[in-house]
Structure 1
Amino acid sequence: MIEVERVVTLDHPLADVVRYLADFSHTESWDPGTATCRRIGDGEPAVGAEWHNVSEFRGRRTELRYRMVRHDARHLIFMGRNKTVTSTDDMRFEENGGRTRLTYRARLDFNGLARLAQPLLKREFERLADEVSDALPRAVDRALRAPETEGRHPR
């Protein structure tokens, strides 16, 4: 098992951040390892909702089917699976003076022979977690900026 954790503060209210991150297709905007992520089915993101995710890691593409397994006002969990790995994205949120403190934990449980590579991959997943912690606040800012400021041009 490989587990990485990062804590970031987002300059947006908790409910808005949770609403944005509950749609796992947005990983395309903040996870550098995600090539594509598409919702399977319709409706609002809720427990049981699924996404088809294509990720790139070390020059190889892998496909996972993610399922939302928890959706609370302050906690989201997504689990992705394929024959090689089970990936768990665990997001915990705290209100912080109109801002949101996000604790993001990613856990990878490898199956079969892939388990042997875990010690060699830990450093690369730490680097990827650093990239996520840099990209995620920018993606949230772009998505949640006030609509009245979009499209304005200085005069």
Structure 2
Amino acid sequence: MSHLLVRTVTTRWDAASVFDYLLDFEHAEEWDSGTVRCERRAGDGGVGTRYLNVSKFLGRETSLDYEVEKLVPGRQFVITGGNKTVVSTDTVTVTTTASGGASVEYRAEMTFKGIASVVSPLLTPFLNKLADDTETQLRDTLEARADR
């Protein structure tokens, strides 16, 4: 079973800067409420760049290996991560707002594997809370960067 989580935030920070900041997935430590640690393992930030992301969910830490799969410079990137129990495909789309800031749509599609797929329907409220917390943290982080 797949879970699709979609959140959109706006910020005063300009779209080009927001895009560059989010594309460097090591920054996930700052804006993703579930990320404990994220480090680049290979690549220059473009397609094929790999990251190790350690996240905390339901009190447990888990590691996911992520790779940038698609990149539309300044506009959108797709990064896919996974381990033995889950695959997460995250699509980040950044657009310029009428006021010169940015709108960020963050889509995470999570597909659970093995025994985790059996219990995944029970995870829906926890995943929604994680997405809500990340939405708030992302907005706060981008706004704080806009003030720099």
Of residues 97-106 and 46-55 in structure 1, the stretch that sits farther from structure 2 once superposed is 97-106
Note the 1:79-98 alignment, pairs <5 A.
79-97=80-98, 98=100
Q: Which residue of 1 aligns with 2:79?
A: 78
Note the 1:100-119 alignment, pairs <5 A.
100-119=102-121
Measured in 2, the distance between the counterparts of 1:42 and 1:125 equals: 30
Give me the CA root mean square deviation.
1.3
Report % sequence identity: 35
Instruction: Look up the equivalent residue of 1:136 and give its one-letter code.
Output: L
Q: Which residue of 1 aligns with 2:49?
A: 49
Measured in 2, the distance between the counterparts of 1:42 and 1:114 equals: 31
- 1:133 equivalent to 2:135? Answer yes
Q: Which residue of 2 aligns with 1:59?
A: 59
State the 1:93 CA deviation.
1.6
Q: Computing the radius of gyration over CA atoms, which structure comes out larger, 1 or 2? A: 1
Aligned length: 145
Q: Which runs of 5+ in 2 are unaligned?
A: none
TM-score of the superposition, structure 1-length normalised? 0.88
TM-score of the superposition, structure 2-length normalised? 0.92
- 1:12 equivalent to 2:25? Answer no
- Structure 1, residues 97-132: CA drift from partner, whole Å, max 9, x if none? 211111111111111111011110011111111111
Measured in 1, the distance between the counterparts of 2:66 and 2:49 equals: 8
Instruction: Look up the equivalent residue of 1:131 and give its one-letter code.
Output: D
Q: Which residue of 1 aligns with 2:22?
A: 21
